[in-house]
Structure 1
Amino acid sequence: MSVQEDVLEEISIKEKAIDQHEIVVYNDDFNTFDHVINTLIDTCEHDAIQAEQCTLLIHYKGKCAVKTGDFEDLKPRCTKILEAGINAEIV
């Protein structure tokens, strides 16, 4: 690849990254591990292991990005998480 092609590819990758958003779930003292795990499986299409790992990160780190994608895809997912009583936002 030429230098120009490398630069254009890098710009393209950065532009795609800008269009991506994340659902961040925050820790609280109310929801059980099972409730958060089941919610992530239902709303984010996680498998059980991924949902459990995210839940542990939420518990020990205070937050975790549980899903990345376009805003239009994430908005209904985040709404469903919020309706389940779990604190989350799209960033």
Structure 2
Amino acid sequence: MVAVSPVAPKGSTSVIHNAYPNYKIIVLNDDFNTFEHVSNCLIKYIPKMTSDHAWTLTYQVHYEGQAIVWVGPQEPAEFYHQQLRREGLTMAPLEEA
């Protein structure tokens, strides 16, 4: 389900629904977090994250320098981003998807 914001153009009686943007959570590679810690944090804080997918993303972070670990609405994105950052993961700023 996509959240929408009703917007009525000036001088119009119709309402145009603009979708709220999604945001990307990006984990960055660093020299101090272990593979196990990164994977465990993804499983713990990202909804529906499986162990296999968490390890795939962890390897992507290590070998490619970053990985998009979740995309969705701003409010939960901010919450998950904050939780991962508090666990010590190196995070890119939230950005629109």
Give the TM interval when normalised to the shorter protein. 0.7 to 0.9
Structure with greater strand percent: 2
Long gaps (5+) in structure 1: 1-14
Per-residue deviation at 1:23? Answer: 0.2
User: Secondary structure, in 3 states, of the residue corresponding to 1:85?
Assistant: coil
Q: 2:84 aligns with which of 69, 76, 81?
A: 81
Q: Which residue of 1 aligns with 2:26?
A: 24
User: Secondary structure, in 3 states, of the residue corresponding to 1:22?
Assistant: strand
Per-residue deviation at 1:90? Answer: 1.3
Q: 1:53 aligns with which of 34, 51, 56?
A: 56
**Whole-Å separation in 2 of the counterparts to 1:71 and 1:87:** 19
**Whole-Å separation in 2 of the counterparts to 1:77 and 1:19:** 17
Identity of counterpart residues, as a percentage?
Answer: 30
Long gaps (5+) in structure 2: 1-17
User: Secondary structure, in 3 states, of the residue corresponding to 1:68?
Assistant: strand
**Whole-Å separation in 2 of the counterparts to 1:28 and 1:59:** 8
